[in-house]
Amino acid sequence: MFKILITGSAGLIGSEAVKFYSKKNFKVIGIDNDMRAYYFGKEASTQSNNENTKKECKQNYVHYSIDIRDKIKIEELFKKEGPFEIIIHAAAQPSHDWAAKEPFTDFEVNANGTLNLLESFRKHSPKGVFIFTSTNKVYGDTPNSLPIMEKEKRFELDSSHKFSKHGIDESMSIDNSKHSLFGASKVAADILVQEYGKYFGLYTGIFRGGCLTGPCHSGTKLHGFLSYLVKCIIHQKPYTIIGHKGKQVRDNIHSYDLINAFNHFANNPKKGEVYNMGGSRHSNISMLEAIELIEKLSGKKAIINYEEKPREGDHIWYISDVGKFKKDYPDWEYKYSINDILKEIVEFEMKKNE
């Protein structure tokens, strides 16, 4: 039986990976200590999602409540349960704003935690594949220097720019920009995963995600844009748009499509390769457009407040070019459009209230 280790296994991406590989009859080892509740409060806890995942995948899934900052326990786990054919590292502190409150915690989780995993990977599962869930925030606020035009319900990139047709590719620099402390800690982890591939010759893949979403997202004010927006509209709670008139654009990729991309990479891995991965031109939306679509799907009217000042370094327009990944893995395709994603999240949230 093949073995896979998944960090953040109770979160959006981790739980999707647990289900995906459990169905493939892998022995799945999951790490998650519900730090999300510590970051964002009880409403963001992944505990219920974890319980549901354990019930659904009980034959193939073993869960450990381990903190990835604890390198001794991480190494003990690798020795006990490994070697692993695949490691999917999805655990993280994911918020710009929260990182500024506790910079040491943010860096220790995102950077040091990743290093702990990489070292145990190198020592105890060197023939495996290490897949890292990075972020487009490694580019900092450089995307805001692009020639962006304002339209009725969204910002859009000038059609003459090279990124206009397909989105932002991996040629964008990660230097000389404002990242936020979260972005900086993820840059450190991103480069570490690259280096373990290129320096040590191990199979590592870095996926710089746009907005990752799906019905299992424990959305909250500081993280999980679509999930939290749906919750607010359905439960008739005010939602605050922060800056850019609500016209800021994000590409959104469903958690299944991301894990499926990970699987394609794992089946034909490379050493220290970087990919931009998001909804691309296939699946993207502005905040105003999202509100309008959720209102239509739910039959409820949003209660919206506005703050004029945007978040520090917040992207005005970001759409991922997934062309490099598609070139390397041409058989990978999207399953979910932005309409499919929002329909599923709305139906999931409304069903919880029945």
- Structural contact between residues 161 and 267, judged by C-beta atoms closer than 8 angstroms: no
Helix (H, G, I), strand (E, B) or coil at 124: helix
Q: Give pLDDT, residue 341.
A: 95
Q: pLDDT tens digit string along 180-195?
A: 999 999 999 999 999 9
What pLDDT does 168 receive? 98
Structural domains of the chain, ranges and CATH numbers in brackets? 3-352 (3.40.50.720)
CA distance 206 to 125: 18
For 194-234, what is each residue's pLDDT tens digit? 999 999 999 999 999 989 998 876 666 656 678 889 999 99
- Kindly state the average pLDDT of the residues 92-112: 95
pLDDT at 30: 97
Q: Which residues pair with 6 in a beta bridge?
A: 30, 88
Q: What is this structure's pTM?
A: 0.95
Question: Mind listing the pLDDT tens digit for each residue in 281-330?
Answer: 999 999 999 999 999 999 999 999 999 998 887 899 999 999 999 999 99
From the DSSP assignment, how many helices (H) and strands (E) are in the chain? 13, 15
CB of 98 closer than 8 Å to CB of 40: yes
- Residue 212 backbone phi and psi in degrees, to 5: -100, 130
Q: Which amino acid is at 128?
A: G
Q: What is the mean pLDDT of the chain?
A: 94
Residues 6+ apart with CB under 8 A from 90: 6, 7, 8, 9, 11, 13, 14, 17, 133
The stretch 139-154 carries a mean pLDDT of: 97
CB atoms within 10 A of CB 267: 11
